[in-house]
Amino acid sequence: MTELVSGGCLCSYVRYEYDGEIGSANYCHCRDCRKTTGSAFNIGICLQSSSLCVVAGRVKSYTKIADSGNTITREFCPECGSPLFTRASTKPQYIWVKAGSLDEAKWIKPMYQIWTDSAVPWAYINTKLPSFHQNRNVL
């Protein structure tokens, strides 16, 4: 289903719109996601990067080599610090949007979880979801 999706950061300096197919969402338990969200895990939604448009403000970014070996760039609001987007250098056709930045929670449908080897023992999600000890190699 295609629907115009909108979202933004906490202070509304950065706003974005997405006009395309909404891909699956996933939980990521990796250490880097824990650090960048300040929470137990990240929930990312895979979108087509060419269909996502920042319509207000500008993001700042930070690039790091992940445990997977991939070069990962994380983008955030320079005013309020809210994390918004993640890009992987090996998959430029995709952008992962932080689920909490979307205006409507109904758009988010987590389908699986990755890096469960790194999961904390004090936060639980649906244990029936397909789970991967480390990265999931198919999209």
State whether residue 135 is helix, strand or coil. Answer: coil
| 46 binds Zn ion per the rule CB under 5 A | no
Site residues (CB under 5 A) for Zn ion, limited to 26-45? 28, 30, 33
Is position 80 an interface residue for Zn ion (rule: CB under 5 A)?
yes
> By the 8 A CB rule, do 70 and 89 touch?
yes
- Binding status of residue 79 toward Zn ion by CB under 5 A: yes
Amino acid residing at 91: K
Q: Which stretch binds Zn ion (CB under 5 A): 1-9, 47-55, 103-111, 122-130?
A: 1-9
Q: In whole angstroms, how close is the CB of 67 to Zn ion at the nearest point? A: 8
Both structure tokens of 12? 């509304």
> Which of 15/49 has CB closer to Zn ion?
15
Q: Give the total of residues touching Zn ion (CB under 5 A).
A: 9
The token pair that represents 104 in the structure block: 């409507």
50 versus 90: smaller Cβ distance to Zn ion: 90
Site for Zn ion contains 9 (CB under 5 A)? yes
Q: What is the DSSP letter of 31?
A: H
Beta bridge partners of 3: 20
Q: CA angle, corner 123, sides to 95 and 128, nearest 5?
A: 75
3-state DSSP assignment of residue 51: helix
Q: Residue 133 CB: number of other CB atoms within 10 A? A: 12
From 5-13, 86-94, 101-109, 117-125, span contacting Zn ion (CB under 5 A): 5-13
Minimal distance, residue 88 CB to Zn ion, in Å:
11
Binding site for Zn ion (CB under 5 A): 9, 11, 13, 28, 30, 33, 77, 79-80
